[in-house]
Structure 1
Amino acid sequence: MTTVASADTRLSSSARQEVADLFGPRPWIYWTDFLLSLTVGYASATIYLSGPFPSSRTVASLVIAVVALYRVSMFMHEIVHFRRGQMRSFSITWNLLAGVPMLIPSFMYESHQDHHNVREYGTRQDGEYLPLCHTGWSGLVVFLGQVFLQPVLVFLRFLLGTPVSALHPRWRQWILQHASSFVINFRYRRTLPADAPRGWWLLLEWCCFLRAALIVVMIVLDIFPPTRGLKIYFLACCTLGLNHLRTLGAHRYTNPGFAVTHEEQFHDSTNIRGGLLTELLCPLGLRYHALHHLLPTLPYHNLSRAHRRLMEQLPESSAYQDAEYPSFASVVSRLMRTIRTREGHHAPDAEGI
């Protein structure tokens, strides 16, 4: 264990030293990227929602809206990695302009920190991990099937869960622990920090309730046709589908459900080369997921530069070199092959997910 820990420390410290000048976020990049993506996404979504479907115009608008709004949503990942007080105006603006309208407030993603915790990564207390290599094809089908279920659950979470949670403190606590995290592992239970900004959470939550209620009211009053609700659902499924597809390539999913070291966490993650399609599928530097797990506070706009530098400066014998894949398809193909060879094997019930 000492040898593993020392190797873990060496990799992290060596990588950190090589990219020490790249940890500072550049606010103008965040603001420009976010506002441009948001404008394109909302404009395209408006055309899609108001036009006849299917038609070439609405289909094209749907594709653009999905890609743009998916990119917008991924800023939530950056926000939860900001240090307390860092980029505060950006976080507030993102939540008000994107988080509330899209029903994805960032407080629902703060559980992401458990995904980086060496005691929680890959265990049942990691909401963003499933032992896909050990659950066979059925586990993969269930994972992909979440794409069609989660938009409904999130909508009901705010439309019904918010007012219900206001009726009793215990109900409120249950909602926050069991129904306030964007996860793929539904057995995850959120731990609430004592210093959590619950007032800010509550404000965002009620804003999301009003947003969800407005959709229902507009359809009930026949201001919008019922098909608009179906269109919104389809847009949400497509956007979430991109994220689930990306998630398939983010890790190797070989952990059966046990706590691992930081280096083992890194080895279970991937860095992916590729072109425009890879960037669209893995926006904001998410193609460098192994690097992100190694150095979580690197801002997204410096990940590509940091990866190139580490590939050049670290020796070929470095564990960092082993995390790179030539394409997204190569990562998923490896996962499929592993599932095929391990069909029928499951993570242990005692410790695993």
Structure 2
Amino acid sequence: MASSFPLSDPGRSAAPGATLARASGQVPDDMAMIRAAASLTRDLNAAKPGVYWIDMLASVTIGYGALAGAVLADGVAMALVFALVAVLALYRAGSFIHELTHLRPDAVPGFNKGWNALVGIPLLIPSFMYEGVHNLHHQRLRYGTVKDPEYLPLALMKPWTVPLFVLVAALGPIGLIVRYGVLSPLSLVIPPLRRIVVERYSGLVINPAFRRAMPEGEARRHWLVLETLASAWAMTLIALVATGTLPLRAFLIGLAIVSGTMVLNQVRTLVAHLWENEDEPMSVTAQYLDSVNVPPPGLLPELWAPVGLRYHALHHLLPGVPYHALPEAHRRLSRELGVESTYSLANYRSLSGLVVRLVKSTFGSRAAS
């Protein structure tokens, strides 16, 4: 099994980044790293529309084509092969929701509408569920606290929370069908239910204490249009299955594939951070060290952390850099700062090593308590 320790020193018994993240109040900002990150990547901030469209459309085409192949396949083995391809491709297509939250509206013309039409609505993850939420995770004084919708101190929680965290995602598609096909229309005539739906079931979050507010102005109109479309699709899906128009077998295969994408994303989320902060404000450097890069030479991270997500720590350092420019940004910073720098401490080797490290942390936390 590959080491879960930083690439800069794979023989260490504990990751220095983890130690620093745990004592976040004592981590001063590494201004040399922060300045280098800004100065060396100024020319990388522009999104390339062609890259976004080609990547997303290819992922969608392969994903839905493989889903159809899984439904129509004669043998179980071939169906499983198609299903695996569909999970990976649709997972990649869905991961563009993260990019949507960071793109300026005019950066990639039409991409928001195109992604919602091809991915967000069909998979019942319209972009408003991340827009207005993910940006809170990047606020310096909110990150890692109870006000962060995308943070839980998993490394300090009970060991059973790790498998539960992943298993809950498997039920995601059913929850989304209920949210849009049942709760949304009911909430139109039951005002107290509407408040619950908006506050608790309108964001892709992991912090159960987070409560969302309905946005205003154009953002509110954008939300309502997408929610109406998603609700119409969910109710149509329910009706098609109930009347037998859509065979139950085909529906269950599609449900399993979408569930697979959500489980894969949840596993990726599990190792996106070290999850060792407990409601303490963190410096920019501490936030970086609490986050994870899994850079080359490994190839598998392109499958389980696509669309730039393998450079998650770097993304927290440079949230404005588009996903296709992150590999070059990483190369520049690694070359300039070297293997003994703070920058190198957020680089890890593998998914398996990070999961093992997190599980060990939960057992250590239990012993300490």
Same fold (TM over 0.5): yes
Greater Cα shift, 10-19 or 164-173: 164-173
Matched, 1:226 2:248: yes
1:261-302 Cα shifts (integer Å, max 9, x gaps): 222111100111343211101101111110000001111001
Q: Quickly say closer, same or farther: Cα 1:344–1:202, change in 2 above 3 A.
A: farther
How far, CA to CA, are the matches of 1:68 and 1:253 in structure 2? 28
CA contact (8 A) 1:109 1:181 kept: yes
**TM-score, normalisation: structure 2:** 0.87
CA contact (8 A) 2:30 2:342 kept: no
Matched, 1:319 2:350: no
Q: Quickly say closer, same or farther: Cα 1:196–1:173, change in 2 above 3 A.
A: farther
CA RMSD of aligned residues (A): 2.1
SS in 2 for 1:125: coil
How far, CA to CA, are the matches of 1:196 and 1:181 in structure 2? 18
Matched, 1:296 2:319: yes
1:175-227 Cα shifts (integer Å, max 9, x gaps): 22221001122221124444452112111111111111121111122112223
Where does residue 19 of structure 2 map in the other structure? none
How far 1:47 moved relative to its partner?
1.6
Of residues 40, 44, 48 in structure 2, which corresponds to 1:18? 40
Where does residue 277 of structure 1 map in the other structure? 300
AA partner of residue 345 (structure 2): D
AA partner of residue 326 (structure 1): R
Matched, 1:286 2:309: yes
Where does residue 157 of structure 1 map in the other structure? 179
How far, CA to CA, are the matches of 2:187 and 2:68 in structure 1? 32
CA contact (8 A) 1:44 1:62 kept: yes
How far, CA to CA, are the matches of 1:132 and 1:256 in structure 2? 10
CA contact (8 A) 1:273 1:327 kept: no
Where does residue 260 of structure 1 map in the other structure? 282
How far 1:26 moved relative to its partner?
0.6
Percent of aligned pairs with the same residue? 36
How far 1:335 moved relative to its partner?
1.7
Matched, 1:59 2:80: yes
CA contact (8 A) 2:47 2:107 kept: no
Matched, 1:239 2:261: yes
Greater Cα shift, 173-182 or 161-170: 161-170
How far 1:131 moved relative to its partner?
1.0
Aligned residues: 343
How far 1:119 moved relative to its partner?
2.0
Where does residue 331 of structure 1 map in the other structure? 354
How far 1:88 moved relative to its partner?
4.0
Where does residue 91 of structure 1 map in the other structure? 112
AA partner of residue 300 (structure 1): Y
1:209-262 Cα shifts (integer Å, max 9, x gaps): 111112111112211222333222211221111111111221111112322222
CA contact (8 A) 2:27 2:286 kept: no
Identify unmatched segments of 5+ residues in structure 1.
Answer: 347-353
* More relative contact order, 1 or 2 (CA 8 Å, 6+ apart): 2
Where does residue 103 of structure 2 map in the other structure? 82
Q: Quickly say closer, same or farther: Cα 1:4–1:13, change in 2 above 3 A.
A: farther
How far 1:153 moved relative to its partner?
1.5
Greater Cα shift, 7-16 or 98-107: 7-16
How far, CA to CA, are the matches of 1:197 and 1:329 in structure 2? 39
AA partner of residue 95 (structure 1): N
**TM-score, normalisation: structure 1:** 0.90
CA contact (8 A) 1:135 1:344 kept: no
